[in-house]
């Protein structure tokens, strides 16, 4: 599994969310040897649930794990503080990010705390979020806690 192969899984999740009328952010958790442990996407719209970001969904779908230190969290977008906090608390070893042009969360903070952070600058991810934010600014602001 290359980083781009892993991102493909997260990107497919984001597209699935978009097709269902949701916020197009996808994520996946992999083991060190590239086994997919769980994948998921943002569920705010679909489940009316503000607590399920893409990374949370992937983390949940990976089930209860005893050790995350060698796992890799792949996400189409720079993880917000909520999702960065998840990575830090559970000592997820690496974060692979599709893009951080449309939003920057806590990935620099994670790198400072020893997480192996890579930003792929994937153009499809940038285009997907740019178009989504332009068409749905209120929904986007709701998802990242920006009031008004």
Q: Which residue has the tokens 């230190």?
A: 69
User: To the nearest whole angstrom, how small is the minimum distance from the Cβ of residue 127 to a second copy?
Assistant: 24
Q: Is 55 a catalytic residue?
A: yes
8, 13, 55, 99: the catalytic one is: 55
Q: Which residue has the tokens 């070893």?
A: 93
DSSP strand E in 19-146: where? 26-30, 36-41, 72-77, 94-99, 116-119
Q: Which of 42, 36, 43 is nearest to 63 (CA)?
A: 36
> What is the footprint of a second copy within residues 85-124 (CB under 8 A)?
85-86, 88-91, 105-106
Taking CB under 8 A as the criterion, the residue among 83, 96, 117, 129 binding a second copy is 83
Residue 34: Cβ within 10 Å count: 11
Q: Is 56 in the site for a second copy (CB under 8 A)?
A: yes
User: To the nearest whole angstrom, how small is the minimum distance from the Cβ of residue 147 to a second copy?
Assistant: 4
Q: Is 18 in the site for a second copy (CB under 8 A)?
A: no
Which sequence positions are flagged as catalytic? 55
């Amino acid at each position: 599994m290359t980083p781009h192969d892993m991102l493909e899984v997260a990107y497919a999740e984001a597209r699935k969310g978009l097709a269902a009328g949701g916020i197009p952010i996808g994520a996946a958790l992999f083991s060190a040897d590239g086994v997919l442990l769980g994948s998921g996407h943002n569920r705010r719209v679909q489940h009316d649930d503000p607590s399920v970001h893409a990374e949370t969904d992937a983390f949940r779908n990976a089930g209860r794990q005893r050790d995350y230190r060698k796992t890799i969290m792949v996400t189409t977008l720079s993880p917000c503080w909520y999702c960065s906090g998840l990575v830090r608390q559970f000592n997820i070893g690496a974060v692979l990010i599709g893009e951080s042009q449309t939003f920057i969360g806590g990935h620099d903070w994670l790198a400072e705390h020893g997480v192996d952070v890579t930003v792929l600058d994937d153009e499809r991810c940038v285009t997907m979020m740019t178009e989504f934010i332009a068409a749905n600014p209120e929904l986007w602001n709701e998802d990242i806690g920006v009031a008004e």
